[in-house]
Chains A and B, each alone.
Chain A
Amino acid sequence: MSKFHEEAVELFAETQAGAGNPATVTAAHGMAVLELSYSDDTSSSSHKYVGDDLSRDEETVIEDETGNITCKTFMPVSGVAGTEPPATKWLEACGGATIITAGTSIEITNSAASSELLTMQFRRSSSDIATQKNYQLENAQGVVNLEEEVGKRSMLEFTFNGNPIVPDQQAKLVSDTSTQKSLVAPLLRMNNLTLAELVVIEDGDVKTDVTNICYNKLSAPNVFGFAYDRFLTGCEEGFSKGAVATDVTITILEDDADATYNPHEHKGKIHAFYRKFGNDAGKQNLLTMDKLQLVEITPTTVGKWVGQELKFRNRGTTSILLT
């Protein structure tokens, strides 16, 4: 029998032409990811036939099965302004539309519709066997978390769900991820963080504008704000998508009560947040969240310094602009 090494895994993904029409996956569709996992989720119901008191004749009906792939990857850059990095296709399957302004920028945003479906292949193998066991998901869509900490690389955490096929054996396909590995955003540090702006908006006007909020972490689970419900019909099985508000947590250093920005003064108010890093053209990344409502302030620490964890509800649009 073949024995698969736990570290010998590959992930491929390609955009489908439509629902129920799986894409042909090639080496060029490999995803450069970290911490990759695959699991099946089965939904079933149990029915016990009436009978005598010694009967254990309970039938379990497997009603539905979905497959789940989780992985992480670093925030991409465009390399050359206006050039799409490979990661956009995965973000498109998470509700982030790609807007290409030729020669200028790539914007990934939930302000325009994007319901792309992926064919994904999670493959197991080992270095001494020539084949891979292929766990394939079709009609896959997902959510993406954005996790950032100053001093680390900006990280995208994906969770994809799709329709699994029975795993099959395939000739070994070695992913070509060299382009992706060359298009990774620089380390998020003070020397390349060119904008960290928090704006308080009241009655449509800018009330307070802090152009350099001293932040340490940003956590935005499900950053594009979509929730999925499973649906099954006679002609299509998949996931239906709906927009939802999500949480965004920004950790800052606590400042004087009479500082320009005193969070307690603005609890419940609408904020906008802009974060830009990257010094060189083709490596710049601007995050914009235009409607964040501050709902909770929790004491925390940044090193030994007192910090504040600001929890917002993201009620507006989110955009990642690569320039």
Chain B
Amino acid sequence: MKYTREKDGSPLVPVVDKKVEQETEKQEAELSKGNTEQQAVDAKKVADAAKATGAK
């Protein structure tokens, strides 16, 4: 982990790694995609349950 500071005694500011940022964005995109897929699975479960119980 890298940090910068203006001078001795100044607060440390983490250096944000561009590669890490890109990876985080990629993971968030995958998570979002995963959520959409999960919603489709959930919708199917509800439809199957409705079918099984004869509900319309």
Contacts and interface: CB of A to CB of B under 8 A. Distances in A.
A18 interface: yes
Nearest to B8: A101
Contacts of B17: 15, 17
Contact of B3 (A15, A21, A112, A115): A112
Contacts of B1: 92, 97-98, 112-116
Interface centre among B6, B10, B19, B24 (most CB of A within 10 A): B19
B18 to A, nearest CB: 9
Contacts of B3: 97-100, 112
Interface in B9-27: 10, 12, 15, 17, 19-20, 22-24
Nearest to B23: A17
Contacts of A112: 1, 3, 12
B23 A99 contact: no
A212 interface: no
Nearest to A116: B1
Contacts, number: 49
Nearest to B5: A101
B4 interface: yes
A100 B22 contact: no
A18 B8 contact: no
Interface residues of A, number: 21
Nearest to B19: A17
Nearest to A97: B1
B54 to A, nearest CB: 38
A100 B23 contact: no
Contact of B4 (A23, A92, A100, A114): A100
B2 interface: yes
Contacts of A113: 1
Interface centre among B3, B7, B15 (most CB of A within 10 A): B3
A104 interface: yes
Contacts of B8: 101, 104-105
B20 A102 contact: no
> Which 4 A-B residue pairings sit nearest by Cβ, starting from the closest?
A17-B19, A114-B1, A17-B23, A98-B2
Given A92-B2, A101-B5, A104-B7, 18 more contacts: A15-B17, A17-B17, A17-B22, A18-B23, A97-B1, A97-B2, A97-B3, A99-B2, A99-B3, A99-B4, A100-B3, A100-B15, A101-B6, A101-B7, A105-B8, A113-B1, A114-B1, A116-B1
20 contacts: A17-B19, A18-B24, A92-B2, A97-B2, A98-B3, A99-B5, A99-B12, A100-B2, A100-B4, A100-B5, A101-B5, A101-B6, A101-B7, A101-B10, A102-B4, A102-B6, A104-B7, A105-B8, A112-B1, A113-B1
